[in-house]
Structure 1
Amino acid sequence: MVPLPQRLFAELFGTFWLVLGGCGSAVLAAGVANVGIGYLGVALAFGLTVLTMAYSIGHISGCHLNPAVTIGLWAGRRFPTSHILPYIIAQVIGAIIAAGVVLLIAKGQPGYVLGPTGLAVNGYGVQSPGGYSLLSGLVIEIVLTFGFLIVIMGATDTRAPSGFAPLAIGLALTLIHLIAIPVTNTSVNPARSTGPALFVGGLALHQLWLFWVAPIVGGLLAGLTYRALAGEPPLPQVTGEPL
């Protein structure tokens, strides 16, 4: 098994890559006149970050990159309790660093101002791209995180075809963003939400609670559900195994 410090650095860097690629594409490329990549491009960017990191660091840390994934895998008896907090801390640090890098790059454009919805922050109500309510945001984040964890656990099950898990997981995250960007700007990941919100502050920070609670609830439900459906083996047989 890879030692914990190396696994934590892999999680930090992987989450950095996810936020840099996903939020960076939304901030720097989505709205560029005539050549902007739009919602489809941002959705693909998020999916590609997970796909590339799953192949790069999956064998090191499991490539969670997301507190909801870590907690969901724990609920599914795929991950030890003692490593939950260190993994989450590493993921949040990586997301914060990436959000800072995106902001630093964005400030290089003349006239750039960090607004209340800047850095691709997540939100509901006036913070939602489509003006969707708190209830809409809560439901979609729970449901989509649940689906994401089911895909992750199914694709990485030892009984599934080997070698294709990163493709399934990356495409699932792309699909999730295609559905949810207009509603909440798509979180399904508390770390991804925390990094940008800390720099934007204000309402983005006040609404951050939803993007911790909903994904974690979805992840927990998925872990328990998959274990019940698939008859997952007990933790000692899978502790430390990467995705």
Structure 2
Amino acid sequence: MSQAQPLSRRFLAELIGTFWLVFGGCGSAVLAAVFPYAQADANPLGLGFLGVSLAFGLTLLTMAYAIGHISGCHINPAVSFGLWASGRMPGSHLLPYIVAQVLGGTLAGGLLYGIASGRPGFELSGSNPLATNGFGAHSPGGYGLVSALLIEVVLTFIFLLVILGTTHRDAIASMAGVPIGLSLTLIHLISIPVTNTSVNPARSTGVALWVGGDAMGQLWLFWLAPIVGALLAGWVQRQLLEGGRPSS
């Protein structure tokens, strides 16, 4: 179990896992969502929203089984905060986990930028370069700040309840990765038009750092909203659904 692993090993697992999440999920959006690139209207081969949603879910599903036994496969600062709020993670592990997650996401964003730059005509322009998150002019559907804030809080809240429920000591542990991965797919199906879907500050930071500008200017929301949603879910799980009892 992850509790028996040294913190250094968990740090490496979280770095690799978050790298895969950002590279696989954002990579599908940047490299394959629209193809051929010059024929966006026809788009016979592009993944579209459904494909990108599945890519994010699959990255999480695969990493759940690859590193879950080492670090718990948080690969998301909001998940770490939610597990801490539910009493399943010591506060002393929060910072190392978050540093590993942000570092992994940033490495993935940089590699993705390097690969995408190899196509003639690619540039960091448009509303969501490198699959960044945003609201207003940087929302794929033109949604404003309040809409973005609400959907990120609510979806992260539900996401954490799924994680906390499926990893409960009384749940079927071997199956946890499946509903968790599917829930992330569903979250993307709902919210790509609103914010390009974050629910993960490391995912947002990993690409925003390479884009700069408004992507960095709006990044605060994609830290605040997921963490608020996760903390709320951790409290609800521990105090209301579990009646204050430890759940693991």
Report the TM-score when normalising by structure 2: 0.93
Per-residue deviation at 1:54?
0.2
Pairing 1:104–2:114 present:
yes
Paired AA for residue 63 in structure 1: C
Given candidates 12, 15, 34, the residue that maps to 2:15 is 12
Residue number in structure 1 paired with 2:153: 142
Aligned residues: 236
The Cα RMSD (Å) is 1.1
Residue number in structure 2 paired with 1:27: 30
Structure 1: runs of 5+ lacking an equivalent = 239-243
Paired AA for residue 167 in structure 1: V
Q: Any idea what SS the aligned residue of 1:44 has?
A: helix
Per-residue deviation at 1:162?
2.8
Query: Sequence identity of aligned pairs in percent?
Result: 64
Q: Tell me how far apart the structure 2 counterparts of residues 230 and 115 of structure 1 sit (CA, whole Å).
A: 47
Q: Tell me how far apart the structure 2 counterparts of residues 72 and 6 of structure 1 sit (CA, whole Å).
A: 21
Given candidates 218, 242, 247, the residue that maps to 1:230 is 242
Residue number in structure 2 paired with 1:241: none
Paired AA for residue 152 in structure 2: E
Query: What are the superposed Cα offsets for residues 8-58 of structure 1, whole Å, 9 maximum, x if unpaired?
Result: 000000000000000000000001132000000000000000000000000
Residue number in structure 1 paired with 2:168: 157
Q: Tell me how far apart the structure 1 counterparts of residues 190 and 211 of structure 2 sit (CA, whole Å).
A: 24
Query: What are the superposed Cα offsets for residues 194-221 of structure 1, whole Å, 9 maximum, x if unpaired?
Result: 0111111111100000000000000000
Larger relative contact order (C-alpha < 8 A, sep ≥ 6)? 1
Paired AA for residue 183 in structure 1: V
Residue number in structure 2 paired with 1:58: 68
Q: Tell me how far apart the structure 1 counterparts of residues 57 and 92 of structure 2 sit (CA, whole Å).
A: 29
1:77–1:232 contact (8 Å) kept in structure 2: no
Query: What are the superposed Cα offsets for residues 127-150 of structure 1, whole Å, 9 maximum, x if unpaired?
Result: 000000000000000000000000
Per-residue deviation at 1:232?
5.8
Q: Tell me how far apart the structure 1 counterparts of residues 11 and 245 of structure 2 sit (CA, whole Å).
A: 25
2:238–2:246 contact (8 Å) kept in structure 1: no
Residue number in structure 2 paired with 1:171: 182
Structure 2: runs of 5+ lacking an equivalent = 37-43
Paired AA for residue 181 in structure 2: G
